Amino acid sequence: MKTFQAPLDDIFFCLNTVAEVGRLPSWDEELSVEVARAYAKFVEQELAPLNEVGDREGCRLEAGKVLMPTGFKEAYRRYCEDGWQGLSLPEALGGMGMSSVLQELCFEVLSGANHSLEMLLALTPGATRLLLNFGSAEQQQAWIPPLASGECLATMCLTEPGAGSDLSRIHCKAEEDGDGWRIVGEKIFISGGGQDLSEDILHLVLARTGVDGLRGLSLFGCKSRLADGSRNRISVERIEEKMGLHASPTCQLHFDGAKAELIGAPGQGLQAMFSMMNHARTDVALQGVAHAARAYDIAAAYAADRQQGRDESGNSATIDQHEDVRQMLDEMAALAIGGRAMAYKVLVLIESGDQPELVNFLTPVVKVFCSEAGIRATYLGQQVLGGYGYLTEYQLDQVCRDARITAIYEGANGIQAKSLLTRELRSEGATQFEGLIAELVEQTKDESVASSLGAWRDTKGRLLDHGTPLKAARGFMEVTAKLLYMALWSKTVQHADQSPDPTMYARVGRSVMKQEAIAIEYMGKRLGSELSAE
């Protein structure tokens, strides 16, 4: 088994030369490298070894209490003692006040080492951002310091039986009485809905306070423990048995008149919750990148050691010298490197705050591309290892199982494609996307990217002429993602000599540029043909 090693050199190359993180006034390169190396060391030594344990043992529900796998509680305590849980939270509220880009860098590392645990810890920055934007001063003072210290972890409680992506069907109710608000109803698929890591849990609950539909939904903060130390009226009914992420308890919760506080104004719950969901989607993109990078690391190490057949000189050869295996390894590397560039480009834009419309356009694109990149890379990794890839010994089976959910949760990829077509295509964000690609063309002087941008514009025009038919949603998403992937790879190739592996980066990048230019042209023509045939 290949021991987990954080790909920090690749990450910082991407941040500095492709995502241009240095443009951010808040970015401190020297400090960020120092913090990231300390974080990676902790993860490699303390959290990565628990990944296989968590997959094997899973979580247990005993007497209404969720018990985490062996070693998780102790590791979480050390994690919090080192201050990691408050890394990007405001200093005035108990955090370290570091950059959100640095926070996401750390979560990429943690996702590659222990995705299940990352699921439980990564909601804290999003919950804090939500409270800072929509919560009262009293709520911020009461709830954010425990999140920063790790005393409390957060959940997002949206989904109900029969109300998944269609939130207008939510039935969970919040009723006001003389003692405040009380929540009654069921929520399902709640990551970390119960766990014994933190002393408390802040459930962020979307509940109905008014009319049917989306306008009647409000957001509430519902603590698992009340101010007097007693338990709130929230019970864990079951833990779902899942394909992967066995150490992340996915719970069904029952709220039986649980005391809660309204966050923001009545009827504005969806606006507040979406601010947290958009953060979660960029986190999912980096989960996909982390799985692609981990799968490549395992497969590349195996292929460099496994001898089979002979080279052109008749000498014994390792399988990474065989063309088929090398092509698979190169595709895995391309997906990890290119997906990382896409995700961090968006994160830098978020941190800058300059183009929110462009962020809205790009968020579904990177969520879809990077999640599917992780799934594709794990499949290829198993192919490289052959029969050994199907065994548990090399951990690719777990990487494969854990990665699969990324295309489903935080908005299934089909829904993201629909949103891009119907909501974002006519937006200012679409215009700014064209400007972003044009800017990259200007930087790289790459004619193939310029030609692909032209093909994308033609496709966009045809879709607008035909009223953006939903059957074109997946195709348009793929063309858009490929264009961004190709454009950022063009910049990566331009700086390959500064990368951790110049030969590999240059070889892989040249292959990506050729293949994606052909794919974008073909897909654009295919979509045009399908629309014309109506």
CA atoms of 30 and 338, how far apart (whole Å) = 24
CB count in 10 Å sphere of residue 266:
16
- What one-letter code names the amino acid at 59? C
Counting Cα atoms < 13 Å in the Cβ hemisphere of 220 gives 28
SS3 220: strand
Please give the full DSSP string across 345-365, using - where no structure is assigned.
HHHHHHHH-S-HHHHHHHHHH
Nearest CA to 501 among 348, 375, 370, 329? 329
* Cβ proximity of 231 and 224 under 8 Å: yes
Q: What are phi and psi of 401, to 5 degrees?
A: -70, -40
Residue in this structure with the two tokens 């939903």, named with its chain if needed = 470
CB count in 10 Å sphere of residue 36:
19
* Cβ proximity of 187 and 160 under 8 Å: yes
CA atoms of 432 and 434, how far apart (whole Å) = 5
CA atoms of 39 and 48, how far apart (whole Å) = 12
Residue in this structure with the two tokens 């974008």, named with its chain if needed = 520
* Cβ proximity of 165 and 415 under 8 Å: yes
DSSP letter assigned to residue 2: P
Residue in this structure with the two tokens 């939270």, named with its chain if needed = 89
Structure token digits, residue 385 = 């290892």
* Cβ proximity of 488 and 338 under 8 Å: yes
Cβ burial of 248 (10 Å; 0-12, 13-18, 19+) is: buried
Beta strands in 348-489 (DSSP E): none
Three-point CA angle 494, 453, 469, nearest 5°? 140
Structure token digits, residue 249 = 């308890």
Q: Which of 46, 118, 331, 410 is catalytic?
A: 410
Nearest CA to 126 among 79, 76, 191? 191
SS3 260: strand
**Residue 410 annotated to the active site:** yes
Catalytic residues: 410
